[in-house]
Structure 1
């Protein structure tokens, strides 16, 4: 028995403070649902988790890019469809000039063709998505749109930019464009050659944009699956197992209460020493 140093009480207090700290940590984990609140809890796990979260956010943002890209190509598809219908109408008008038509009739048809060509220019110039135009490239604009298709360096997807205005839709030789069509002068064959080449070019571009849209949709689905895998990995590293943590919390609650009871008992020991000294009188 010692009077100056109550070693038993100090030892109980040391264990008590240790259990209080563990109890506090368990309560924090349960309340937050996160078992890595600070880097000191798991330095390696914290690093892994931040890397996973960086990849996850990159995938989520690239998914948004793919959504925007799909919407952009859907807008372009609508414009290309209108251009195709306008070209088909121009072809119908051109063929009609090969029938029993007077000069006045051909002049009227020529004016309608010119109006249809203006509508093609309007469609090409005004078809855009968030300011990006894919059907009316000028000399100062880039010939492609570069989109981030993933979360890492080099994950890119290229969308070409075309010029489908009437002045750029030409015959095979590139010597005559739609603007050179003159059905009122009887140049039916030349006009049909230019129109057919223009339709083939528009259809080829539609096919390319359709393939790119399919690729975007495939990438979107893949990124969604990868995001789920990343979410699962992040959960395995950082999410607390509530059942297990509640078991630990119950254990530390009991130890803290036992520590309180033991400190009361050990603090009575100096009084026992005094009673022994009193008897010496």
Structure 2
């Protein structure tokens, strides 16, 4: 087969174009740190990246859910702890009121304190976080405890708030208001009604069966403490789950990096080598491919 000058030129241009394409790919890898810039560069790598990115996104979503669960549990536990502290103060006042040396004015002064503590406990029960009532379950747009104005208080029946923290696990993050504030006494009163009755008795100066009052206070305090313990157990479990999610995120990130990322040292070395080859190719072709007939005749 006769090799013509045109054939040499075409082959030279094709090889130079191929060299430019290699340089462009290597330059893109050096700049981005990634093996591919589009799926057609390596469909297998692209397919794996899609799978690994999906896994990583799921883990990050579960971590975000866990963060919300932590916020809910922490706020709930903090408020129940404050409620327990209030009941402790109420008990101290009840013991003080039980002293027979108190006159009517002293009892009324204690009644004022009990009223303030009752209102503070009501405020705690109707706590809002980010505009949501944390003690009213899924019905978080309305307060869980309503003062009926006649010495009775209505506490809502609620549905649990659950959060997906793994692909096959949901965790309850709220506290039922009736459990959170001690349920009901043997007489059927909730804690707010009991405090209201105690306050009125103090104001009237007619205290009867203070032992029963103290028993009720202890019962409500015990109920709150039990609910706080349950919250603590759920919080501890969530911490374990969050630790596992952090480990899963680290693993997923490494697998994704191994699939997508280039070894910069290798790519830079290859890029420099390809540059040398490209320059040599240009130099040789400048001698082989004569630009004019005169140069060819020389």
TM-score, normalised relative to structure 1 = 0.82
Is the CA contact 1:6–1:270 (under 8 Å) kept in the aligned structure 2?
no
1:176 pairs with one of 159, 168, 189: 189
Say yes or no: does 1:237 pair with 2:253. Answer: no
RMSD: 3.2
Is the CA contact 1:176–1:194 (under 8 Å) kept in the aligned structure 2?
no
Larger radius of gyration: 1
Paired residue for 2:170? Answer: 156
Separation in structure 2 between the aligned mates of residue 144 and residue 49 of structure 1, nearest angstrom: 38
Structure 2 matches for 1:67-216, cutoff 5 A? 67-101=67-101, 104=104, 105-126=106-127, 128-135=128-135, 137=144, 142-150=158-166, 152=167, 154-163=168-177, 169-171=183-185, 173=186, 175-178=188-191, 179-180=193-194, 181-182=197-198, 184-216=206-238
Paired residue for 2:272? Answer: 250
Unaligned ranges ≥5, structure 2? 137-143, 146-154
Taking structure 1 as reference, are residues 156 and 177 closer, same or farther at Cα in structure 2, changes over 3 Å only? closer
Separation in structure 2 between the aligned mates of residue 100 and residue 163 of structure 1, nearest angstrom: 36
Q: CA deviation at 1:174?
A: 6.1
TM-score, normalised relative to structure 2 = 0.78
Separation in structure 2 between the aligned mates of residue 119 and residue 273 of structure 1, nearest angstrom: 101
Q: CA deviation at 1:227?
A: 1.4
Unaligned ranges ≥5, structure 1? 277-281
Is the CA contact 1:20–1:252 (under 8 Å) kept in the aligned structure 2?
no
Q: How many residues align?
A: 272
Is the CA contact 2:12–2:285 (under 8 Å) kept in the aligned structure 1?
yes
Q: CA deviation at 1:242?
A: 1.2
Q: CA deviation at 1:29?
A: 0.7
Report the secondary structure of 2:37's partner residue.
Answer: coil
Q: CA deviation at 1:163?
A: 1.4
Q: CA deviation at 1:30?
A: 0.7
Is the CA contact 2:60–2:249 (under 8 Å) kept in the aligned structure 1?
yes
Q: CA deviation at 1:11?
A: 2.5
Paired residue for 1:24? Answer: 24
- Answer with 249-258 or 54-63: which moved more: 54-63
Is the CA contact 1:52–1:230 (under 8 Å) kept in the aligned structure 2?
yes
Paired residue for 1:43? Answer: 43
Q: CA deviation at 1:207?
A: 0.7
Report the secondary structure of 2:163's partner residue.
Answer: strand
Paired residue for 1:279? Answer: none
Taking structure 1 as reference, are residues 134 and 274 closer, same or farther at Cα in structure 2, changes over 3 Å only? closer
Is the CA contact 1:134–1:163 (under 8 Å) kept in the aligned structure 2?
no
Higher relative contact order (CA 8 A, sep 6+): 1
